[in-house]
């Protein structure tokens, strides 16, 4: 019997220790640790909540966000923080 001709090579047949052909697959272990470190410094934890607001108030927040070229969520959060801080300082 003769050997059948090969149609190509099997990259998995090579030992990963002796061949550096799989360097394009990067480890995600270090990236996940670094991402966790950066997240705690850059922004506070956030949670999605829903509130029922009057349509006129929603329109005002959207207009303000469009003027400032910010997201609706950012502007709404900023306004709430300012309101709470103002209320706490007046007491």
In 6-91, the DSSP E strands lie at none
Contacts of 45-49 spanning 24+ positions with Cβ under 8 A: none
Q: Where are the domains of the chain?
A: 56-91
Q: What is the CA radius of gyration of the chain?
A: 28
Q: What is the pTM of this model?
A: 0.50
pLDDT tens track, the chain, 91 positions:
556 665 666 666 655 555 555 556 666 666 555 555 555 567 788 888 899 999 999 999 999 999 999 999 999 999 999 999 999 988 7
- Please report the pLDDT score of residue 90 as a whole number: 81
Q: What is the pLDDT of residue 6?
A: 59
Q: What is the pLDDT of residue 16?
A: 53
pLDDT at 80: 94
Sign of CA dihedral 29, 32, 38, 41: negative
């Amino acid at each position: 019997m003769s050997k059948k001709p090969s149609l190509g090579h099997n990259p998995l047949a090579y030992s990963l220790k002796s061949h550096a052909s799989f360097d394009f697959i990067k480890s995600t272990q270090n990236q996940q640790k670094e991402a966790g470190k950066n997240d705690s410094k850059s922004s506070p934890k956030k949670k999605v909540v829903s509130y029922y607001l009057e349509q006129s108030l929603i329109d005002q927040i959207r207009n303000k966000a469009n003027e400032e070229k910010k997201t609706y969520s950012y502007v709404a959060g900023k306004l709430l923080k300012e309101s709470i801080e103002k209320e706490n300082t007046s007491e």
